[in-house]
Amino acid sequence: MSESYFISSTRLFTKRIYSWYVEFRQKPDYQTGNLLNLPTPYKCQRRAYHVNQSHQHGSRRRLRSNTAALQSSRPFLPLRAFSLSTHLQKRGDDHNIPGSDSHDREDEDDDEDIDDSEVDQLFQQQVPTVGEGDHRIFIVHPDVKWGTRKQYLTTADLMMAEAVGLVNTLQNWSVIDKMILSTKTPEKKMIFGKGNFQTLTDRIRRTPGVTAVFVNVERLTPASEKEFESAWGVKVFDRYSIVLHIFRCNAKTKEAKLQISLAEIPLLRSRLRNEVANLDQQGGGSRYIMGSGETLLEVQQRLLKERELKIRSALERLRRKRHLLRSHRKHRDFPIISVMGYTNCGKTTLIKALTGDVALQPRDQLFATLDVTVHAGTLPSHMTVLYVDTIGFLSQLPHQLIDSFSATLEDVTHSDLIVHVRDISHPETLNQKVNVLNVLKNLQIPERLMNSIIEVHNKIDLVDSYESSEPNSLAISALRQQGLEELKMELQKAIVTNTGKQVMTLTVDLCSSQLSWLYKEATVQEVDVNPDQGSAVVKVIMSAAAFGRYRKMFQSC
């Protein structure tokens, strides 16, 4: 037989196997990674394939290499988990029924809950950014001496202290040693110069029990990570991977889990390119998989794209639900106050103090809050307001991480007032303020909200004789209940101004339903009853829209 015969036969097989590959990708054997244990129609073709490949030993070896690579990467990118076909089969057929209304179907989706097992499945497919179990960490902080990357509002010691705090947030993780090394720029492949890098390597090797190294930079490139792991012989983390792992440990709700899974996608893509590049160097990464016409990189990228689409679809459904809840709150005319700040500044403690909500359990740790929660409270005028507790911020985090939580932080842009809580006892309080304001600007917060921010200097009980000298700021201790009444009065003034509400004095007939309507639709401050005249003078706070409804309903009174 000629070589051209084998080539044409292989091409024919490629077309057939690809169609069966698509058809049977949901079969149990495929899901478990047993790519060669296929249904009966595959067997005769498999024999023909092996005959053809027996004349092309090199191609057969590359096939085994690619198949092994695909199977070995299964925990990294599970094929079954990224398939959208099952998800589409559950819902897509309804759109093809004659006479069906797609708009009705979309409305039903708004009320449809995200399946718990589906969310958990996506959440469990974690990027292997950190190893399982305990870790004894060596932390190294690159201290940039000059240039645009130098941090002028903080010091290397304070940044190292924050890195230690991140590690200590994780259960059963501990810092075994730490080191600050100067560098011209952290953007180089090896970050440090040859001399400092050798000093660091010697120090790590001399430190017993080190299981991982935490390089305190925003993101390490895959190439840098590979070089470091090769030199030090242990796993290497950056701030992105550490914070992602903290998020994973603290995530409880579906939305938090989905947002964290979405935040892992950029990291997953960069690692995927690096791993496939390594396979290319070994002569197997760019070859076709099972005659499908796709390289290993193309298969992995497609599956990863499917995963991203599925996560974004689920988040979009949750976003629509959140929008519906906001509409209900707006309809009830409840003012919304978003409480924001650096992580562990005391946001949840403040909301608990303002609302008296005993269900709130603040924790003294970084990123204890990953979900937006809403809590009702009352201002001195008896006006009911809703406090929104938000995720805390951190310096030197990639924009992709904040973008992944955009659906959650969208509530902030629709609030009536923002309260910026600062831990005034923290030595980096000014740097933390700058980081929070930068994040708010990146979120495209409306200018009216940015200009009316009330700054709260919390934890004054930890500072001797503290007095705030900054405008639009109040000094309080949420834990000790100090300064809360003054804060409530300021919140009330700002809410009245920002919402366009007005303080009105109305005379109502006690025989009508005017008073009960005002209690329901406005904020009643005072009621002075005149029994002889059968009327009452009522002092209320209400919006122009509510006053218009009042006049329309009781214009004859």
Q: What is the pLDDT of residues 183-238, one digit of tens each?
A: 887 777 788 888 999 999 999 999 999 999 999 998 888 888 889 999 999 999 99
Which DSSP string do the residues of 463-490 spell out, in sequence order?
Answer: STT----STTEEE-BTTTTBSHHHHHHH
Q: In this structure, what DSSP letter does residue 369 have?
A: -
8 A C-beta contact, residue 495 and residue 416: yes
Amino acid present at 55: H
Amino acid present at 192: F
8 A C-beta contact, residue 129 and residue 206: no
Q: Could you give the C-alpha distances from 131 to 79, 234, 241, 251, in angstroms and in order?
A: 22, 10, 11, 18
Which pLDDT value is given to residue 115? 55
Domains of the chain: residue spans and CATH: 1-87+119-126+264-320 (no CATH), 135-249 (3.40.50.11060), 333-498 (3.40.50.300), 501-553 (3.30.70)
392 vs 341: CA distance, rounded Å: 6
Per DSSP (E only), the strands in 115-218 are: 135-144, 173-183, 212-215
Contacts of 147 (CB under 8 A, 6+ apart): 184, 185
Which pLDDT value is given to residue 453? 93
341, β-bridge pairs: 421
| φ, ψ for residue 23, nearest 5 deg | -70, -40
- Using alpha carbons only, what angle is made at residue 146 by residues 182 and 143, rounded to the nearest 5 degrees? 25
368 vs 357: CA distance, rounded Å: 17
Which pLDDT value is given to residue 233? 92
8 A C-beta contact, residue 232 and residue 204: yes
150 vs 352: CA distance, rounded Å: 38
Which DSSP string do the residues of 273-317 spell out, in sequence order?
Answer: HHHHHHHHHTT-TTSBSTTSS-BHHHHHHHHHHHHHHHHHHHHHH
Which pLDDT value is given to residue 56? 45
In the sheet with 173-183, reading across from the earlier edge strand, the strands are 173-183, 135-144, 212-215, 235-237
Assign 74 to helix, strand or coil: coil
Which pLDDT value is given to residue 85? 28
**Residues making up the chain, counted from first to last:** 557
Which pLDDT value is given to residue 273? 67
8 A C-beta contact, residue 422 and residue 437: no
**Residue that is written with structure tokens 């990708």 in the block:** 25
Which DSSP string do the residues of 511-551 spell out, in sequence order?
Answer: TSSHHHHHHHHSEEEEEEEETTTTEEEEEEEE-HHHHHHHH
Q: What is the pLDDT of residues 277-321, one digit of tens each?
A: 565 555 554 555 555 566 767 777 788 888 888 888 887 887 777
Which pLDDT value is given to residue 211? 93
Q: Could you give the C-alpha distances from 349 to 363, 412, 461, 465, in angstroms and in order?
A: 9, 19, 14, 22
Q: How far apart are the first and last CA of the chain?
A: 104
In the sheet with 523-530, reading across from the earlier edge strand, the strands are 502-509, 535-542, 523-530
Give me the torsion for CA of 274, 275, 281, 287, rounded to 10°: -120
239 vs 221: CA distance, rounded Å: 12
Assign 176 to helix, strand or coil: strand
| φ, ψ for residue 19, nearest 5 deg | -65, -40
Rg from Cα positions in the chain: 30
What residues of the chain score a pLDDT lower than 50?
A: 1-7, 9-10, 13, 21, 24-114, 123, 126-127, 285
190 vs 456: CA distance, rounded Å: 42
- Using alpha carbons only, what angle is made at residue 166 by residues 138 and 221, rounded to the nearest 5 degrees? 65
471 vs 392: CA distance, rounded Å: 23
Q: Could you give the C-alpha distances from 419 to 229, 347, 436, 456, 529, in angstroms and in order?
A: 43, 9, 12, 7, 38
| φ, ψ for residue 33, nearest 5 deg | 95, 0
Tell me the pTM.
Answer: 0.65
Two tokens at 372?
């937006």
Two tokens at 414?
């629709």
CB-CB neighbours of 557 under 10 Å: 14
Per DSSP (E only), the strands in 160-211 are: 173-183
Which pLDDT value is given to residue 413? 84
